[in-house]
Structure 1
Amino acid sequence: MRGTQRNILTVVIALLALQLGSLVAPAYACGCGAMIPDRSERIGVDREESAVRWDGRTETVVMRFHVHGNARRAAWIMPVPGRADVTLGDPALFDELDELAEPEQRDRSYFWPREGDWPFDHGYGDGAAAAPPGAGSGVGVVGRERLGPFDVARLTATDPEALGDWLRTNGFELPERLTGALRPYVDRKWEYVAVRLAPREKGAALYGELTPLRIGFASPELVYPMRLSRLARTPQTLGLYVLAEHRMEPRSPIGGDRPEVTFAGRIEHPEGAVAGLTGDAPVRLTVLEQHFPRPERIDDDHHLRTVADTPYRQVEYTDRLLTVGGGVPVWLLTVAAVPLLAALLAVRVKRRRSRPSPGIRSTA
């Protein structure tokens, strides 16, 4: 017995150690860029959402992060294929997109009672300030500005080492391994958007939903940078809203689970924040969800291609007990009818047996 208790205690301690390890391990990267806190602090990205508008010539990415941790500041870098224009995004955009793509609601009936239906009584769900430039060799400072809580630097680079040196000189504490991960973008002569995140309140931690950033650049194809996410130490989840002339999907999973389309449809009259991103002309919206259980397997950026404009909307069912009349369960009527039918059948059989047989006459 004591041996069993000792084994159980060992397992519990091991699980607690794993949990603590996951809390203190820094989340060095997230989808579409790298998120880096100071070395003594930690930050994690619960979820990243991006809305991408592409008109065949230019691409606009609006990004929103949900973060946790104790970091009072953090740096984030995003490679882009062309000169970037950076502004603050509209916080209402993602709520509007979610509303446009929300699942269709349908009722679905079931016959036999379930938990929560009479005669059961247990609950049952329905089911369903800028620093001095100090640029190093190979780095050009395109611009630097303060946008709300963000200190944004737009850079060009021909040498990943020089880029890393410049960022560290200007207060961006980046892990050494990021330098090698930037090499493919340097080779393709991409530029970078480097952002220093800090709360408006002095001494406060970065937590919860951050103000969206809107980044625009020229691009002959719809590409969503993901390669830096391979530096992440924890599984990553990406929610991507694509607004284009046609339905668009990734060419490959790039090392993650297969991307799942949760909505595809035509928005005839964009309004509000959506119209602020797309204009008021009709546009097609494709919503994608993808999970990366092993981020180190990410081997490319997302390149999206046009596919057939087949509409799709998820359906969420609400299961309801089948009833008639004033809410009488059909199963109850069925069960009650069985003995009644049996009694009627018995009476009929008895009557048939009590009748005289044909051809037999009384001699009395």
Structure 2
Amino acid sequence: MPRTHRHRLLRAALTLALLTAALVTGGLANPAWACGCGALVPGPGRVISVAQETSAVAWNGRREEIVMELNVNGTAPDAGWIMPTPSTATVSLGDDALFGALQQASEPQYRTRHYFWPRSGADWPFGLGGGDDMASGSAAAAPRPVSVLSRQKLGPFEVTRLAATDSTALQNWLTRNGYSESPRLAQGLKPYVARHWQYVAIRLAPKADGSTLDGGLTPLRIGFASRELIYPMRLSSLASSTQTLRLYLLTPHRMTPGALGGGTATTAFAGRLNASDLPAGTVTAPDRPFLTTLDQVIPQPWRIKDDLHFRQASADTPYRQTIYTDRLLEFAGLPAWFVVLGGAALLGGALAVTVGALYLARRSRRRIRV
């Protein structure tokens, strides 16, 4: 190969390597890790991910309230979170007690099922051990490109409410205020700007000891007017890993979710609650709300094209997951099949002895007559 041609190939390979390095350091060092309801973004050179997102969503047909709890991990000592809302939002701190009560209300019921014949590998005489466990079972537009509507400090959070008429200007504001430099976020916000939504921008302040954000964060309670039950999810399309979401819906009737990013929601619980089932003051729910507990796994978040919308189900059919424990049927501490077969054998033996005795007695009488 001529030396000039080799030099050209070497320069091309070096250029490709430099471009690849630039993409890796510039595109991945500061990713926009999205959570289900909004986008969670770390500072430069940091990464953060949402391990679990849990939200209680109360709606009475006119107003919606989201109490959100995030469990995060990563290398960031601080981070920003942007959540779009269809109207002006109120923001306050939430209470962990709400999620404890909702989890307790949604717990599955446990039942024991008995089987008669022994199972291979589990029961004598085929093996040792007990039965197998089996589970069975779903605004008006702002006059300026970006307007700061309010600022407040809530525990570890710095909360700013925004309105915007231009997605690029909104992205510039977020960049100047240390939220994100990613142009992908501006692209993700564009549909909300077109619909004149507002935004809750939240800074998670650094910890006093300088440690990274890890584990459960203090819940946030966000309320806004809405004639539709909706969970803002469009920004989750920025995520690069599987999203796991649990939603507790507190509504007048049972609700059914629409499709979202190829993931299918499963119902863990559906049923009517009493006012005493919820800790006082933790959420503004309808009187005797119907609780629908949904678990959603989104393996390909980049397929998300819209928010998560809900519609009223055709009926308020209750549902509680049932987890069965299968056990071999016993009688007096012995396997029932053994007792039955043993009893049948004894009865058959006794019957055979009785028939034999009667036969011999009858034969003896015949001999005596002769």
> Is TM more than 0.5 here?
yes
Q: CA offset at residue 350 of structure 1?
A: 4.0
Distance (whole Å) between structure 2 residues aligned to residue 318 and residue 193 of structure 1: 47
Q: CA offset at residue 61 of structure 1?
A: 0.5
Q: Show the 5 A alignment for 1:191-230.
A: 191-230=198-237
Distance (whole Å) between structure 2 residues aligned to residue 268 and residue 243 of structure 1: 11
Q: CA offset at residue 121 of structure 1?
A: 5.0
Residues 32 and 180, structure 2, Cα contact 8 Å, conserved in 1: no
Secondary structure of 2:96's counterpart equals coil
Q: Show the 5 A alignment for 1:305-320.
A: 305-307=311-313, 308-320=315-327
One-letter code of the match for 2:116? Answer: F
Match of 1:55 in 2: 60
Q: Show the 5 A alignment for 1:135-214.
A: 138-214=145-221
Q: Does 1:295 align with 2:301?
A: yes
Secondary structure of 1:178's counterpart equals helix
One-letter code of the match for 2:213? Answer: L
Distance (whole Å) between structure 2 residues aligned to residue 123 and residue 109 of structure 1: 11
Secondary structure of 2:207's counterpart equals coil
Residues 268 and 282, structure 1, Cα contact 8 Å, conserved in 2: yes
Q: CA offset at residue 328 of structure 1?
A: 3.3
Q: Does 1:273 align with 2:279?
A: yes
Q: Does 1:93 align with 2:89?
A: no
1:138-194 residue CA offsets vs partner (Å, 9 max, x unmatched): 100011121111111111011111111111111113422111111100000000111
Residues 27 and 45, structure 1, Cα contact 8 Å, conserved in 2: no
Secondary structure of 1:273's counterpart equals coil
Distance (whole Å) between structure 1 residues aligned to residue 159 and residue 350 of structure 2: 85
Q: CA offset at residue 255 of structure 1?
A: 2.2
Match of 1:16 in 2: none
Residues 270 and 282, structure 1, Cα contact 8 Å, conserved in 2: no
Q: Which moved more, 1:348-357 or 1:152-161?
A: 348-357
Distance (whole Å) between structure 2 residues aligned to residue 116 and residue 211 of structure 1: 46
Match of 1:324 in 2: 331
Residues 263 and 286, structure 1, Cα contact 8 Å, conserved in 2: yes
> Of residues 39, 44, 51 in structure 2, which corresponds to 1:46?
51
TM-score, normalisation: structure 2? 0.80
Q: Does 1:36 align with 2:51?
A: no
One-letter code of the match for 2:71? Answer: H
One-letter code of the match for 1:85? Answer: T
TM-score, normalisation: structure 1? 0.82
Distance (whole Å) between structure 2 residues aligned to residue 229 and residue 97 of structure 1: 25
Identity percentage of aligned residues: 49
Residues 222 and 304, structure 1, Cα contact 8 Å, conserved in 2: yes
The RMSD of aligned alpha carbons is: 2.9
Residues 131 and 328, structure 2, Cα contact 8 Å, conserved in 1: no
Secondary structure of 1:168's counterpart equals helix
Secondary structure of 1:98's counterpart equals helix
Which blocks of at least 5 consecutive residues in structure 1 are unaligned?
1-22, 129-136
Q: CA offset at residue 117 of structure 1?
A: 6.3
Match of 2:4 in 1: none
Distance (whole Å) between structure 2 residues aligned to residue 123 and residue 175 of structure 1: 56
- For this pair of structures, how many residues does the alignment match? 332
Match of 2:260 in 1: 254
Distance (whole Å) between structure 2 residues aligned to residue 208 and residue 229 of structure 1: 20
> Of residues 231, 242, 245 in structure 1, which corresponds to 2:249?
242
Which blocks of at least 5 consecutive residues in structure 2 are unaligned?
1-27, 136-143
Q: CA offset at residue 74 of structure 1?
A: 1.3
